Structure 1
């Protein structure tokens, strides 16, 4: 057995495997583009290392699409096969990833909490715990799972960025900004810390400062995976949108957001869709950009990885005129609820599906239906995940529909 860079025991006698695991951990925490390569190198160095296989499975699960889920399963099965003689931490981690693969997110969360209680240096487990809290809408625990391990990781800038984002989601804006600045003081190239401050400045309306801040660090994002690269530029685009500099927003969409996206990545797709919708809510003609995204969404119709993602997909398909696909997806969402555990089912049935119907209605110009479907779920939208900055879009759609429905009623009243 050897120790990784965090001083955690890994069941392997291969120094190259440990070196590759260290690279993988660093890439995951930095949202780097080489995480997959690193963990596959670890497996090549020691094909019997259960933790390396579990890390590979977790990496593919984070991609939140069917193809990646299928890639995850062989690694997960191999990790399970080598579980008999590994450490307690590794066993808990394999169990957590198994629960994730089975969509037992509540079980996965419990296991990540246990890992971080016993092994507070395990920042990969902290990160994945935060990930699950983010997509189940529990902002307090998103913050606390990182905060509780801070005393054991005072030198680690990645954790400061993770705590900062949790604080921002809990509306502790000044503390969040201070924490993120501590991360950047330790390492200028910490994109998640940049991202936390982008949220703070946007919430506080510090638009010009936010643009200057993010653009000052944009050169450091070239080594990021496409998700965080495009997402940090998406935040810059939101600043310019507030300034009503729509041509700049469209250029950023074409060059740094959809233009640099992994077109098969759900998270990249969601960012592009949400920006086009925001532009249209501002009255901007986005041209044929909906048609540019929609061919990549057909494979999402029956996927249902995250309700937050589905609301974007179904809207984009409706805007692109794929009405048969839209109807197919709405039916598929209903069937999906029959196959998931009660922890997730309630959010899908009571929030996601009504919201999806409301989003489709808005895309089709049926504003009264939008209001009817969205109004009852507005106070519960956090349950489908996403950040404040991302979820505000659904409230904006509701407000636009309410105003448009009112105008339609007025016109019909005059002409009756």
Structure 2
């Protein structure tokens, strides 16, 4: 690496290790590297990624200013090729082009498959744009260059496991994720990949027991703790233990401060809201935290969860104001800005649908969400996170009397995840709505059996 003395390189190396562990110390070590060598190119690259991948508008602005100042002080053409490529990838991200950044990082990985920063940053970019194939293949294409005795081999496996899960390879993702955690028990991203696999298969009881067995490894010391608790709360909800889910909310999620933590809180409360459990007192506190983070367009996925919070708090005016601001944003010509297209194609329709749900206009919800239901991934997030949108569509189909559509949506869900109590409860609700009391009773009994299995562990929910 150019521009780094021995001490700066040591801090950089520690920072990469902390980054792969999702430890908060990454910020300190990245700063220490730059304190030793302010014009150290890879130190500036890492620092910029930390600001940009947070999806916080204020941190992105600071990263943009710092990186611009750094670029005025260096000879870009004189950098080694790989460092120059990293600088160009960061610049693409600073310019708002997630897709160009991801492509540039992919080129680095082709030539340097053991560049951990290129893999980690590219993996997050793929997540932000909802590209399941790249989440899988970016890591899979580099994996053969890594070996079991490499210090961070387990972390690369953890990333690969998550990509496999998002691409639907559940058996393989479980196998790879478990191996990643075996190699490094505190690999929270690997744990997270296994948790997602169980979620997508409807293995909620196994998920709870997996997290319980490893609670000391994932619940403290990283900036990923809150998100994993969110997954735990989802498991508890599916098992019918709403009290436990709310206890997790009050103890952990309600104290969230970053956009990622706030959206987890909103996504959990929204699932209660869809069932008619409004929780206004919790929503009000959450809604107060969003205006400072949505005062300018940054990431459409965050906007959606801010609107959930406003609707849940019965502050429809605030939701309308955010939507109007984003409509004005779309009126600006911003070619190459990924969030602009994500907002137009997915973010704004979903925001409007959430407001329509809050107003009880379920036909409008269906009209907005049904045409985009198979491309909601385009504004990022995981299958588990985006399921809040799919559940909103299903609830409005039921409440709006769109029984044929509700039947299709429920059938899709049950045949993918037959072990989900939620899916069977919705089958029961539909059967009751169309007057089939016997089918409604049978579906609810099945849901009850699955909840009991998830709570007691006598039989796995997948069975």
Task: Tell me the TM-score normalized by structure 2.
Answer: 0.82
More divergent stretch after superposition (240-249 vs 350-359): 350-359
Confirm or deny that 1:253 pairs with 2:249. yes
Report the equivalent of 2:432: none
Deviations along 1:20-72, whole A, 9 cap, x unmatched?
Answer: 10111111111111111110000011112121112111101111122101221
**Corresponding residue of 1:239:** 235
1:119 aligns with 2:112: yes
Contact 2:280 2:313 in 1 (8 A): no
The answer for the alignment partner of 1:323 in structure 2 is 316
Deviation at 1:224, TM superposition (A): 4.0
Deviation at 1:295, TM superposition (A): 1.1
Give the conservation status (yes or no) of the 8 Å contact 2:316–2:355: no
Structural mapping, 1:195-210, within 5 Å: 195-210=192-207
Out of 15, 21, 32, which is 1:24 matched to? 15
How big is the shift at 1:221? Answer: 2.5
Matches within 5 A, 1:277-292: 277-292=270-285
Contact 1:54 1:79 survives alignment (8 Å): no
Distance 2:402 2:130 in 1: 34
**1:355 paired to 2:346:** no
Aligned pairs (5 A) from 1:8-407? 10-80=1-71, 81-82=73-74, 83-155=76-148, 156-226=153-223, 228-259=224-255, 261=256, 263=257, 265-337=258-330, 338-341=332-335, 344=338, 345-406=340-401
Q: Deviations over 1:86-119 (max 9, x none)?
A: 2211111111111101102222112101110111
Cα distance in 2 for residues equivalent to 1:47 and 1:13: 9
1:103 match: secondary structure: coil
**Alignment CA distance shift 1:314-1:96 (3 Å):** same
- CA RMSD of the aligned region, Å? 1.8
Sort the Cα spacing of 1:223 and 1:47 in 2 relative to 1 into closer, same or farther, 3 A.
Answer: farther
Structure 2: tracts of 5 or more residues without a match: 404-463
Quote the Cα distance in structure 1 between the aligned partners of 2:388 and 2:219.
Answer: 28
Moved more, 365-374 or 92-101: 365-374
Q: Work out whether residues 300 and 343 of structure 2, in 8 Å CA contact, stay in contact via their aligned partners in 1.
A: yes
Aligned mates of 1:350, 1:202 — CA distance in 2: 27
Which deviates more, 32-41 or 316-325? Answer: 316-325
5+ residue gaps, structure 1: 1-9, 409-416
Q: Structure 1 length as normaliser, TM-score? A: 0.91
Query: Partner of 1:288: helix, strand, or coil?
Result: helix
> Quick check: 1:61–1:68 contact (8 Å CA) kept in 2?
yes
Which segment drifts farther, 183-192 or 213-222?
Answer: 213-222
Structure with larger RCO (C-alpha < 8 A, sep 6+) = 2
Contact 1:202/1:239 (<8 A) preserved:
yes
CA contact (8 A) 1:50 1:78 kept: no
Q: Please report how far the alpha carbon of residue 223 of structure 1 lies from its aligned counterpart in structure 2 after TM superposition.
A: 4.7
Cα deviation for residue 234 of structure 1 reads 0.7
The CA deviation at 1:300 is 3.2
Distance 1:407 1:97, change over 3 A: closer
CA displacement, residues 101-160 of structure 1 (integer Å, 9 cap, x when unaligned) = 110222211210111011111121112112122222211011111111111122311100
Deviation at 1:283, TM superposition (A): 3.8
* Cα pair 1:195 1:232 within 8 Å, conserved: yes
Aligned residues: 395
Deviations 1:224-266 (A, max 9, x none): 433x10111111111100011111000001112223x2x2x11
2:374 partner SS: helix
2-side partners of 1:268 and 1:54: how far apart? 25
